[in-house]
Amino acid sequence: MINSEFLKNLNNFQKEAVLHTSGPLLIVAGAGSGKTKVLTSRIANIVEKNLAFPNEILAVTFTNKAAREMQNRIGFILKKKAVGLPWLGTFHSICAKILRKHAKAVNLTQNFTIIDQDDQQRLIKNICKSKNIDIKKISPNFVLALINKWKNSGWYPKNVRISRGQTLEKNMLEVYKVYQEKLTDLNACDFGDLILHCVKIFEENQDINKIYSKKFKYILVDEYQDTNYIQSKWLKHLTLLHNNICCVGDDDQSIYSWRGAEIKNFLEFDKVYENTKIIRLEDNYRSTQNILNVASHLISYNENRLGKKLNSNKAEGEKIRLNCFRNGKDEAIGVSDIIENELKKKYSYNNIAILVRAIFQTREFEERFLKIGLPYRILGGTKFYERAEIKNCISYLRIIQHEKDDLAFERIINVPKRSIGESSFKQINEYARKNNLSLENASQNLIDQNSIKPKTKLGLLSFLNMIKKWRNDYSVKKINHVKLLQVILDESGYSASLKDKKDLENESRLENIKELLSAMKEFDNLESFLEHVSLATAIDQQWEGEKINLMTMHASKGLEFDAVFLPCWEEGMFPHQKSIDEKGQNGLEEERRLAYVGITRAKDLSFISFSLNRFYQGDWIDSLSSRFVDELPEKFIEKNNNLERDDQDFEFNQDIDNDNENFRSPGWIRYQKRLK
């Protein structure tokens, strides 16, 4: 028997969405409006009223976690542990299931292999080598990203359209052709193929298309604003007969265009599906009204949206606080002071989050928290000093300072690639151990004895000579530690290796290295900086229990916290200049949607901040507050006094300026005690 209470727990609009069971339905679900509850209740209602058997319902999510949550909720409503929804899953899992049955139609057998990213990379590398494409300059990840983009657009190699003059894409198209041929030879496909092949099967085999369009009496799709072209096309093929498709999402939270998501799928849903009913879920169960007012006002500047007004089920709440700081360091100090002096008394650290536009922006907050002993975690990423490119840079610096630092030597001996393979390193390691030598000295001895393979010898000798030269630069020529790292990055070829590979991941790595150079300028010499890194990571390892959450705004989607900080709202940083340069107005609107997502993560308190100056890429720059700051509604914003002052009169509670402990944060006091 169905849990009769489930309909009573729905508001009128949620109930309408659940009970509307005829024809296409678009549910515009605002942040925190209970969209998962609606989807699960809708499926339960369909099953309970015998409108369809469970195996006649197709429910599509973007993650396995969301699918499991939906399954469990439906089981609870229907009072059954296993309702038996065989067609509840992700786009890829469902397409794989269909493809297994009809693999022959795309020249595969039923037992085809789905290759993972590592397999994809190896295959691309081999193809590039055969076509004399330098993978040091064009990363396999870049090639795969381009292939995925074409597949998301519904293009097999023969369908790809390349603009005149796009030589690089022409070359990559040749790789794509061979890549698809190899996959067929291997009886394999990648994740992009799962949907692409299904669409091809439906288009070329109307009888198969009819089987599934007849089978699925009801189709439900979660997070529809995140779908790409080929996913929307696949869904359209499945609605030929019954046309009972229900899509849930929020156009104001469409932030993944860089992954292929197309917001127009959502905005033009009623054009694709005639007689669409649109229901807006505008009652928010997460945030205070003031938070929603600010978010709604900001997003109203976007032109490409369906529009809605969010109403809170909670109190009006506190105004969003807008804080101006002198620089990035002061911003980190200000945030930590608010956490320790205000929030710590009310909230668990687990329910406090700092959301940044780019991952490198966590560094100053990490530095501050490490200094004063505030525990934190990075969600959806790695802590600053644990990132591979940062550890590589620090290893280079460590080997300059200590020639016996074998761990540092081992890490960077082949970074970037110097033709020093595993067998050669094993030879060096064994010689060092037998003769009680450092790896560096062992390498030099083996070269002197001519005991290393010629190609390896060249790479190793070049590496050792560079180390000697850099040590001389630092100890004799007395170049400072910041300049030293810049020289190392240039002369080692490490910077070039990251720049040459056209890869979003490498762009992020370069940003992190620039932030490292900024961090180093805060220390007098190499020794003090390396000591700081060692102590910082040691402190971090001691933390257990509750931690403050640091993450990008992209990573925060779907999450919620009691209090949220949104720092670094400066023009060029946020909205990100690259997004505007590449996508124009569309890019700006997506950045604004990202701001909307960030603000609506907060349940009770939200803090937005910017700095007048920022140490960026090794230099001080004057900052302008983000245009989004100007778009915030004055009525629901509380500004700090600094926003009304001239720069000359600017003051803030600085750790370094005031010796009176009565004015210091608890963290500052802990730090002073630790020093003593």
Over residues 414-427, the pLDDT tens digits come to 999 888 888 888 99
Q: Say if residues 67 and 58 touch (Cβ distance below 8 Å).
A: no
Q: How far apart are CA 267 and CA 280, in angstroms?
A: 13
* Confidence at residue 354, expressed as pLDDT on a 0 to 100 scale: 98
* Confidence at residue 80, expressed as pLDDT on a 0 to 100 scale: 67
Residues pairing with 552 in the sheet: 356
Q: Which residues contact 302 (CB under 8 A, 6 or more apart)?
A: 252, 589, 592, 593
Residues 289-303: pLDDT tens digits?
999 999 999 999 999
How far apart are the two ends of the chain, measured CA to CA in Å? 68
For the segment 597-614, the average pLDDT, to the nearest whole number, is 95
Q: CA 139, 141, 143, 149 torsion: positive or negative?
A: negative
Q: Buried (b) or exposed (e) across 58-70, using 16+ Cβ within 10 A? A: bbbbbeeebbeeb
Q: Count other Cβ atoms within 10 Å, centred on residue 360.
A: 23
Mean pLDDT of the chain: 88
Distances (CA, A) of 302 to 73, 101, 585, 587: 35, 44, 9, 11
Q: Is residue 676 over pLDDT 60?
A: no
Q: Is residue 127 over pLDDT 80?
A: yes
Report the predicted TM-score, pTM, of the whole model to 2 decimal places.
0.84
For the segment 184-196, the average pLDDT, to the nearest whole number, is 94
Residues pairing with 620 in the sheet: 615
DSSP 341: I
Q: Say if residues 411 and 392 touch (Cβ distance below 8 Å).
A: yes
Q: Is residue 651 over pLDDT 80?
A: no
**122 noted as active-site residue:** no
* Confidence at residue 655, expressed as pLDDT on a 0 to 100 scale: 40
* Confidence at residue 541, expressed as pLDDT on a 0 to 100 scale: 59
Q: Say if residues 535 and 361 touch (Cβ distance below 8 Å).
A: no
For the segment 246-257, the average pLDDT, to the nearest whole number, is 95
- The Cα angle at residue 89 between residues 108 and 283, in degrees rounded to 5: 145
Q: Count other Cβ atoms within 10 Å, centred on residue 411.
A: 18
Q: Is residue 650 over pLDDT 70?
A: no
* Confidence at residue 646, expressed as pLDDT on a 0 to 100 scale: 46
Burial (0-12, 13-18, 19+ Cβ within 10 Å), 448: exposed
Which residue among the candidates 190, 193, 222, 367 is catalytic per the annotation? 222
- The Cα angle at residue 188 between residues 183 and 190, in degrees rounded to 5: 85
Percent of the chain with pLDDT over 70: 91
Phi first, then psi: what are they for 505, rounded to 5°?
Answer: -65, -40
Which residue among the candidates 223, 251, 262, 604 is catalytic per the annotation? 223
Q: Say if residues 32 and 286 touch (Cβ distance below 8 Å).
A: yes
Of 347, 394, 417, nearest to 603 (Cα)?
Answer: 347
Residues 48-95: pLDDT tens digits?
889 999 999 999 998 888 888 888 888 787 776 546 789 999 999 999
Q: How far apart are CA 197 and CA 438, in angstroms?
A: 55
Q: Which residues contact 155 (CB under 8 A, 6 or more apart)?
A: 161
Residues pairing with 551 in the sheet: 355
Q: How far apart are CA 285 and CA 279, in angstroms?
A: 17
Q: How far apart are CA 357 and CA 555, in angstroms?
A: 10
Which pair of tokens denotes residue 629?
């700051």
For the segment 457-469, the average pLDDT, to the nearest whole number, is 92
* Confidence at residue 217, expressed as pLDDT on a 0 to 100 scale: 96
Q: How far apart are CA 14 and CA 308, in angstroms?
A: 15
Q: How far apart are CA 320 and CA 335, in angstroms?
A: 14
Q: Say if residues 283 and 313 touch (Cβ distance below 8 Å).
A: yes
Q: Say if residues 490 and 396 touch (Cβ distance below 8 Å).
A: no
Which residue among the candidates 151, 601, 603, 664 is catalytic per the annotation? 601
Q: Count other Cβ atoms within 10 Å, centred on residue 615.
A: 19
* Confidence at residue 539, expressed as pLDDT on a 0 to 100 scale: 63
Q: Count other Cβ atoms within 10 Å, centred on residue 545.
A: 8
Of 181, 127, 114, 30, nearest to 599 (Cα)?
Answer: 30
* Confidence at residue 660, expressed as pLDDT on a 0 to 100 scale: 45
What's the pLDDT band for 669 if we cut at 50, 70, 90?
low
What's the pLDDT band for 645 if we cut at 50, 70, 90?
very low
Q: Is residue 196 over pLDDT 80?
A: yes
- The 3 state secondary structure assigned to 7-25 is HHCCCHHHHHHHHCCCCCE
What's the pLDDT band for 305 if we cut at 50, 70, 90?
very high
Q: Is residue 281 over pLDDT 90?
A: yes
What's the pLDDT band for 204 if we cut at 50, 70, 90?
very high
Q: Which residues contact 538 (CB under 8 A, 6 or more apart)?
A: none
**253 noted as active-site residue:** yes
For the segment 233-240, the average pLDDT, to the nearest whole number, is 96
**601 noted as active-site residue:** yes
**180 noted as active-site residue:** no
**223 noted as active-site residue:** yes
> Who wins on pLDDT, 545 or 194?
194
For the segment 443-453, the average pLDDT, to the nearest whole number, is 90
* Highest-scoring range by mean pLDDT, 131-140, 262-271, 507-516, 644-653: 262-271
**65 noted as active-site residue:** no
Residues 351-388: pLDDT tens digits?
999 999 999 999 999 999 988 889 999 998 888 988 99
Which residue among the candidates 21, 36, 239, 401 is catalytic per the annotation? 36
Q: How far apart are CA 395 and CA 543, in angstroms?
A: 24
* Confidence at residue 603, expressed as pLDDT on a 0 to 100 scale: 97
Least confident of 145-154, 245-254, 380-389: 380-389
Give me the amino acid identity at 251. Answer: D
Residues 325-337: pLDDT tens digits?
999 999 999 999 9
Q: Say if residues 219 and 23 touch (Cβ distance below 8 Å).
A: no
Q: How far apart are CA 351 and CA 330, in angstroms?
A: 23
Q: How far apart are CA 549 and CA 552, in angstroms?
A: 10
In three-state secondary structure terms, 159 is helix
The residue length of the chain stands at 676
* Confidence at residue 658, expressed as pLDDT on a 0 to 100 scale: 40
